[in-house]
Amino acid sequence: MGLSSAQSQLSVLDSSSRLGLKPWQKTKPCIEILCNNQVLSPEMSLATVRTYIWKKPEDLILHYRVVQPR
């Protein structure tokens, strides 16, 4: 990684931290987590997923898939 590349990454990190964003909110996710073939939001708790998406008494089953960059 060159110096200019490292500097640009630092400026992105610095500006997003000033905006109050969490580190995972700055970049597009490279995986999607699914439950019952529904893509889950990163903000969803497991309790929310179990209550509103899974809706079964059995153990919660999650799947993931890699998101291809565009």
Domain ranges of the chain: 3-66
From residue 28, give the alpha-carbon distance in Å to each of 13, 47, 52: 14, 24, 25
Q: Give CA 20 to chain center in angstroms.
A: 17
Separation between Cα atoms, residue 33 and residue 65, nearest integer Å:
7
Max distance between CA atoms of the chain, in angstroms, equals 53
pTM for the model stands at: 0.56
For 32: left if phi > 0, alpha if psi spans -120 to 50, otherwise beta; the answer is: beta
Taking only the tens place, the pLDDT of each residue in 7-34 is 444 444 455 456 676 665 666 668 999 9
